[in-house]
Structure 1
Amino acid sequence: MSRGTNLKFKLIYLMRIMLEKTDDEHALTMPQIMKELEKYDVTAERKSIYADFEDMRNKFGIEILKEQRGPKTYYHVGKREFELAEVKLLVDAIQSSKFITRTKSRELIEKVKRFVSEYQGKTLQRQVFMDDRVKAMNESVFYNVDEVYTAINENRKIRFKYYKWDINKKLVARNHDNWFVVSPWVLTWVDENYYMIAYDDWAQMVKSYRVDKMMRISITEDERSGQKEFKEYDMANVSKTTFAMYGGDRRNVRIRFENTLCGVFLDRFGKNITFYPVDENHSELNVDVTVSQHFFGWLFGLGPRVQLVGPDDVVEELREYVAAYMESINYPSPKGNGLVTAQS
């Protein structure tokens, strides 16, 4: 290919060069820019490159800054669509999302790195670390989300197989491997997981389903049902109710705690909660939660500096939960040699 035959792509190649090879810490002189263009079989005059810089700013919002360093003039990209700090936030969000598999996390991070220069990408790569936390293994979760949204937009029911983990760390089908057919109404993000909120005709109630546990989704020809039930489900309040996806009654509970633990409750319930002083060292708060074993386990894990003080029936339910747990500590030894206790 003769030199200069790619001239019609000059602006595209110039944008790529400036976005990939320059940033606030790295810049190129005009001779260096022209040399980089030659790698794409493009020859260009300085005047035309200056005009391209203007087009990049006016048409694409890519600002090229000029900096004089002694006798040489350097050029680099100034404002980007995504700044490095923003890309780091995106990377952190990808890494912390349990519903994104390790493989897909790495793929997404590689794509996100294209928003910054190759030099910034290298520093970002040092930040990338996949630890041993649980990551979803359903690689099709992205397509599941897209399929559910399509069904919602087309007002159609969906069918799918729903899975759970077994003791061998394998996904096994629920409901005797029968198809689930439901009417999807909304997708929501709760406790680091995607959930589909849908109406189940057979059970005649609104239920939630983990999207990463759904497989082989297909859209049916049947129109959705359960609109009235979904409206009564009050999704706005459910999304604000902690532990909402674990089943149980939604209740307003009162919790007493040492003031040193106030940050725990602010992190969990947000800054809109109100603290009521009890004495110099203790306060109380009222908050809506879904009363479940998950809630009791979380509360129990905070230790004796936290107390559930109301309502009475929920307090009694917690006592029964703790009693059942303490009783379960005494269980038959695997070898049949009597009981294993907490003191063993």
Structure 2
Amino acid sequence: MARHFNQKLKLLTLQALLLERSDEEHPLTTEELRAALAERGIAAERKSLYDDMETLSRFGLDIHQRRGRGGGWFVGERLFQLPELKLLVDAVQSCKFITPDKSRALIRKLEGLSSVYQARQLQRQVYVTGRAKTMNESVYYTIDQLHTALSTGRQVSFRYFEYNVAKEKVFRRAGAHYRVSPYGLIWDSENYYLAGFDHDKGEIRHYRVDKMDGLTVLSQPREGEGTGRAFDAAAYGQKHFGMFGGREGQVRLRCEKSLVGVVLDRFGAESILIPDGEDHFTVTVPVVVSPQFLGWIFGLGTGVELTGPDWAVEAYRRQLEQVGERYR
């Protein structure tokens, strides 16, 4: 009876062995497969393994047999190829909003999608200048709940905090819960943000996901001006530099032609560039004028000139004067 039960596990065990222990560089011989099955109490005749391989192949597993010396059975095409897994591992390792522990757990799972030999190539360390991982362990699950709220059109509630110099949480609004109708998640400046309608403030705002605490999906349906239309998360994130707030407007920039790529990278290929003389062009773009936007202009030096509107030019002039005063 036990032998019959083990025989039912034979095909599943063979599939697991091939996925875990074989690849193009490391085929498994028939005798190696028989020995591995025997360790698990499963008897296998040589001829029956050929039938099993045919069955697994018809089921969809990409099995190959290399004949001759050094040959054997191996899995070719997988759900994820090794270069794809390397890309995913690099993304997880370098992602700021995922904690170190969660990064390691995710990478171990990704390693399970390859052979044990390929997994060694996935044990890599990606270093990104200035990168620091979040300290909020619950952010991974917060994002999942936000996706649930977005897909079901429901409000969410959470507390929002900052860190003090002692790395302790300090809650905003005296610890009161925020009530928000979520419109979309935005990835910007290496952080995840929720954009939505803040019911207490009566306007669209955004919040860093890793600074949310105790998020709950409420039973109330989503409300606010973004409920009845498609919310353009890309456009919202594009005009908020570093996701900082400020006065919004159509700003005019006069740029050197060498900065065409910089402007298109920042504002999109649909931006209208108007030639202005032999060496310059102008562009008008929707922007939230914040210190971060003005800092972006300053970082481009004399290559970019902010020409309008007047209130934006004046804001830039004031910031330059205030910073200059600090260094006199």
Query: Is TM (by shorter chain) over 0.5?
Result: yes
Give the 3-state SS of the residue equivalent to 2:182 in structure 1: strand
Report the 3-state secondary structure (helix = DSSP H, G, I; strand = E; otherwise coil) of the residue aligned with 1:120.
Answer: helix
| Amino acid of the structure 2 residue aligned with 1:318 | Y
**What SS class does the counterpart of residue 320 from structure 2 fall into?**
helix
Q: What do residues 120-154 of structure 1 show as CA deviations (whole Å, max 9, x unaligned)?
A: 110121x2235661221111112212222333444
Q: CA deviation at 1:12?
A: 1.8
Picking from 115, 126, 129, the partner of 2:126 is 129
Deviation, 1:219, is 3.1
CA distance in 2, matches of 1:101, 1:48: 48
Residue aligning to 1:15: 15
CA contact (8 A) 1:5 1:41 kept: no
Question: What's the secondary structure of 2:134's corresponding residue?
Answer: coil
Q: Which residue does the alignment assign to 2:33?
A: 33
Q: Is the 8 A contact 1:182 1:200 kept in 2?
A: yes
The root-mean-square deviation of aligned C-alpha atoms, in Å, is 2.9
Structure 1 residue ranges without an equivalent (≥5): 331-340
Matches within 5 A, 1:283-294: 283-294=281-292
Stretch of structure 1 that moved more, 186-195 or 158-167: 186-195
> Counterpart of 1:309?
307
Is residue 161–residue 217 contact of structure 1 (8 Å, CA) maintained in 2?
A: yes
1:337 maps to which residue? none
Give 1:239 shift: 4.0
The amino acid of 2:126's aligned partner reads F
Change (3 A) 1:110 1:3: same
- State the AA in 1 paired with 2:53: F
In structure 2, what residue type is equivalent to 1:129? V
Q: Which residue of 2 aligns with 1:189?
A: 187
Tell me, what secondary structure is at the counterpart of 2:136? coil
- For the 8 Å contact 1:4–1:43, the answer to whether it is kept is no
Query: Which residue, out of 212, 218, 222, partners 1:214?
Result: 212
CA gap of 1:130–1:236, structure 2 versus 1, over 3 A, is closer
**How far did residue 157 of structure 1 move?**
2.7
Structure 1 residue 117: Cα displacement: 1.3
Distance 1:38 1:168, change over 3 A: same
Give aligned-pair identity as a percent: 40
Partners in 1 of 2:61 and 2:149 — Cα distance? 38
Q: Is the 8 A contact 2:94 2:127 kept in 1?
A: no
Distance apart, 1:100 and its partner CA: 0.9
Inter-CA distance 304–124: structure 2 relative to 1 (3 Å threshold): same
Change (3 A) 1:129 1:191: closer
Shift of 1:19: 1.2
1:315 aligned partner, one-letter code: V
Listed one character per residue, the Cα deviations across residues 248-276 of structure 1 (whole Å, up to 9, x for unaligned) are 23333333444444443344334444544
Determine the C-alpha separation between the residues in 2 that align with 1:32 and 1:233.
Answer: 57
1:62 maps to which residue?
Answer: 61
Q: Deviation at 1:155?
A: 4.2
Quick one: structure 1 residues 258 and 170, their matched pair in 2 at CA, closer, same or farther if it must change by over 3 Å? farther
Instruction: Decide whether aligned partners of structure 1 residues 185 and 242 sit closer, same or farther in structure 2, where only a CA change above 3 A counts.
Output: closer
Contact 1:205–1:229 at 8 Å: present in 2 too? no
- Given the two structures, how large is their TM-score scaled by the length of structure 2? 0.87
Aligned with 2:321: secondary structure? helix
Any residues of structure 2 matched to 1:211-250 within 5 Å, and which?
211-227=209-225, 231=229, 235=233, 237-243=235-241, 245-250=243-248
TM-score (norm 1): 0.83
**1:176 equivalent among 174, 177, 195:** 174
Q: In the alignment, residue 222 of structure 1 is paired with which amino acid?
A: Q
Give, in angstroms, the shift of residue 36 of structure 1. Answer: 2.1
